[in-house]
């Protein structure tokens, strides 16, 4: 079975390991670059793209404000169509529901439609613990599963693998769990797809139960929607006798008219296609057609926690297109595994802390810092999630938690910062901030430090070494700053403080300059 993300180190440590893998970086750069170009091309064809983005954001926001009403209407619509509806507060409850259904039907294997929600709750591992094998049928997910690997991308979970690696995985692993790979398999994409198709066909024809997620759930009609590129999902949705769909509560949309907006936004943002090759919809049970029993598990698992966050709730607009991953300079260099979650990249850096809370786990608390805040993710997000804004806000929440006080929007977290995270290596940062506050608190102190910095800069600056902007650069900082300066140059401080320059060139005092040592306040320069 696929490994889990349990025990993943904090992002800086995991990223350092990933950066040392040259092959990984080449694979990522090629794949994300290809997807970016395709997306840009098809988005440019749409004259009203920005209007569509605004419409998608508005629909999501309105739905989230009235989420309780839409969920109850969705439940009523599903029940009217013959589905069984379950509510799951967390991952354990959701897994228990699916395991119980499998045991009641005495199945020992299930086929799965690609689903982030089932990965989020660890469903495969929960089923395996009760003797039920769960087989991924999405090609990329199959590669990850057969390779005993972890997904590294929302849309393309095996983006970190190249064709040669995939051929080796198929040749080595397929025979142990089903139909073996054909003899003499090459790394030609068509041959690899054929090997996967032959291997999976046996699974489709023998499995009596399937598990899916849903991209959207239409409240008015109780319709679940899955969009995909291969058609394997449709095999899972139609052939087995029992179908269980695990759906995050934020996936609901009120009407089919609302769904129309997202079916235009999603394919262009995700795969760079004008429309998805396969869009499957189903609602409950239809006698004589498809599954004879349909279950829908409506999953919370931290979503109401995120909904309560005034800044972060916009993350629940996410339609899992992965456009933010494909433009993120951090993701392109580290890959998805460094994020320690099925949700990697910029969206994972905000979703994981929002769903799980800050001040509890060091790995989760490291994610809001896994960003340059360049804003590229906001520019491409089809539902206009301001990821940089949320990242900054979450950083503030992490700092609050580490100080030992209550998080501003996470009630009941008092004391966690000091008891569990106070010795996590951030003491130096806290001391630095206190030092900065002391220096900036009085004009005389600031002036003295500026003069000292200018003198130190003259000593540390190497002749002829400049930054990209042409400023003198310090190439090596002594003490704790040595590690930082090993990979980058520091612009040298100005040799003369601004106040001194102003006095010298203007023959007078700086505006607001009082007696040395007075407090700096108001609008002083």
Last residue of some domain: 394, 425, 456? 425
136 and 256, same domain (yes or no): yes
335 and 291, same domain (yes or no): no
In total, the chain counts a number of residues equal to 525
324 and 473, same domain (yes or no): no
**Domain coverage including residue 164:** 50-301
- 463 lies in a domain? yes
491 and 457, same domain (yes or no): yes
**Is 156 strand, coil or helix?**
coil
- 391 lies in a domain? yes
Considering just the CA atoms, what is the radius of gyration of the chain in Å?
27
Last residue of some domain: 396, 425, 454? 425
- 240 lies in a domain? yes
Q: Give residue 524's pLDDT.
A: 39
482 and 381, same domain (yes or no): no
- 256 lies in a domain? yes
Contact 491, 473 (CB under 8 A): yes
- 69 lies in a domain? yes
Q: How far apart are CA 500 and CA 281, in angstroms?
A: 71
Q: Give residue 463's pLDDT.
A: 61
264 and 178, same domain (yes or no): yes
Q: How far apart are CA 344 and CA 348, in angstroms?
A: 4
Q: How far apart are CA 436 and CA 458, in angstroms?
A: 22
Q: How far apart are CA 100 and CA 160, in angstroms?
A: 35
Q: What is the pLDDT of residues 413-434, one digit of tens each?
A: 333 333 344 444 456 777 888 8
Residue 210's nearest CA partner among 151, 136, 119, 287 is: 136
| pLDDT mean values, one per 10 residues, the chain (525 residues) | 76 94 91 94 96 98 98 98 97 98 97 95 97 95 94 92 95 95 95 95 94 98 95 93 98 97 96 93 92 97 97 97 96 94 96 95 95 96 98 95 63 37 56 88 87 77 63 74 72 79 75 47 41
57-66 — which CB contacts under 8 Å span 24+ positions?
57/314, 57/317, 57/383, 57/384, 57/385, 59/253, 59/254, 59/258, 59/261, 59/262, 60/316, 60/317, 60/383, 61/314, 61/317, 63/252, 63/253, 63/254, 63/258, 64/250, 64/307, 64/313, 64/316, 64/317
446 and 400, same domain (yes or no): no
293 and 369, same domain (yes or no): no
Q: Quick one: which H or E segment has residue 449? A: helix 443-460
CATH of the domain at 370: 1.10.1060
The sign of the dihedral angle between the CA atoms of 38, 21, 366, 396 is negative
Residue 169: which residues within 8 A CB-CB, separation 6 or more?
Answer: 143, 146, 147, 161
Tokens 């507060």, residue?
Answer: 89
Q: Give residue 499's pLDDT.
A: 78
Q: How far apart are CA 456 and CA 477, in angstroms?
A: 10
φ, ψ of residue 464 in degrees (nearest 5): 85, -10
Residue 227's nearest CA partner among 272, 263, 269 is: 263
Which token pair is 266? 């999603």
**Is 92 strand, coil or helix?**
helix
397 and 466, same domain (yes or no): no
What CA–CA distances, in Å, run from 485 to 193, 331, 388, 491? 47, 23, 26, 11
Which token pair is 476? 């090596």
Residue 514's nearest CA partner among 99, 522, 398, 20 is: 522
- 458 lies in a domain? yes
462 and 411, same domain (yes or no): no
Q: How far apart are CA 271 and CA 126, in angstroms?
A: 31
Number of domains in the chain: 3
Q: Give residue 2's pLDDT.
A: 59
Q: What is the pLDDT of residues 192-218, one digit of tens each?
A: 999 999 999 999 999 999 999 999 999
- 223 lies in a domain? yes
Last residue of some domain: 399, 425, 451? 425
- 91 lies in a domain? yes
346 and 251, same domain (yes or no): no
CATH of the domain at 263: 3.40.50.10420
φ, ψ of residue 410 in degrees (nearest 5): -130, 80
447 and 400, same domain (yes or no): no
């Amino acid at each position: 079975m696929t490994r889990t993300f349990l025990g993943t180190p904090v992002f800086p440590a995991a990223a350092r390991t990933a950066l040392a893998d040259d092959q990984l970086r080449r694979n990522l750069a090629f794949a994300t670059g290809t997807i970016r170009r395709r997306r840009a091309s098809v988005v440019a064809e749409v004259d009203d793209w920005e209007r569509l983005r605004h419409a998608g954001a508005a629909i999501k926001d309105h739905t989230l404000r009235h989420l309780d009403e839409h969920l109850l209407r969705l439940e009523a619509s599903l029940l009217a169509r013959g589905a069984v509806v379950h509510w799951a507060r967390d991952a354990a409850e959701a897994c228990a529901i699916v395991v119980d259904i499998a045991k009641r039907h005495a199945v020992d294997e299930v086929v799965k439609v690609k689903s982030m929600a089932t990965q989020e709750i660890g469903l495969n591992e929960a089923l395996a613990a009760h003797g039920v094998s769960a087989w991924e049928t999405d090609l990329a997910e199959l590669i990850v599963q057969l390779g005993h690997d972890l997904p590294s991308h929302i849309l393309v979970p095996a983006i970190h693998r190249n064709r040669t690696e995939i051929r080796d995985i198929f040749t080595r692993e397929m025979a142990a769990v089903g139909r073996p790979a054909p003899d003499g398999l090459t790394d030609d994409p068509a041959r690899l797809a054929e090997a996967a198709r032959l291997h999976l066909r046996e699974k489709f024809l023998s499995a009596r139960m399937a598990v899916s997620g849903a991209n959207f759930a239409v409240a008015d009609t109780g319709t679940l929607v899955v969009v995909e590129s291969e058609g394997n999902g449709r095999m899972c949705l139609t052939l087995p006798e029992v179908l269980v769909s695990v759906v995050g509560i934020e996936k609901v949309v009120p009407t089919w008219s609302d769904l129309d907006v997202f079916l235009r936004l999603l394919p262009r943002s995700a795969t760079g296609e004008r429309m998805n090759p396969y869009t499957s919809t189903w609602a409950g049970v239809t006698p004589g057609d498809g599954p004879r029993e349909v279950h829908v598990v409506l999953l919370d698992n931290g979503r109401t926690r995120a909904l309560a966050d005034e800044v972060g709730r916009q993350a629940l607009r996410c339609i899992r297109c992965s456009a933010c991953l494909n433009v993120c300079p951090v993701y392109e260099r580290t890959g998805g595994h460094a994020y320690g979650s099925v949700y990697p990249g910029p969206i994972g850096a905000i979703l994981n802390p929002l769903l799980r809370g800050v001040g509890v786990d060091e790995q989760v608390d490291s994610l809001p810092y896994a960003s340059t805040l360049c804003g590229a993710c906001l520019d491409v997000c089809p539902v206009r999630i301001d990821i940089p804004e949320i990242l900054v806000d979450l950083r503030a929440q992490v700092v609050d938690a580490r100080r030992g006080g209550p998080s501003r929007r996470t009630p009941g977290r008092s004391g966690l910062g000091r008891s569990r995270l106070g010795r996590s290596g951030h003491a130096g940062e806290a001391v630095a901030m206190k030092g900065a506050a002391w220096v900036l608190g009085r004009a005389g102190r600031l002036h003295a430090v500026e003069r000292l910095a200018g003198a130190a800069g003259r000593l540390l600056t190497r002749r002829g070494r400049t930054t990209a902007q042409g400023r003198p650069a310090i190439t090596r900082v002594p003490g704790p700053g040595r590690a930082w300066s090993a990979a980058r140059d520091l612009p040298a401080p100005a040799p003369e403080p601004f106040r001194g320059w102003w006095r010298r060139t203007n023959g007078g005092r700086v505006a607001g300059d009082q007696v040395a040592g007075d407090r700096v306040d108001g609008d002083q320069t």
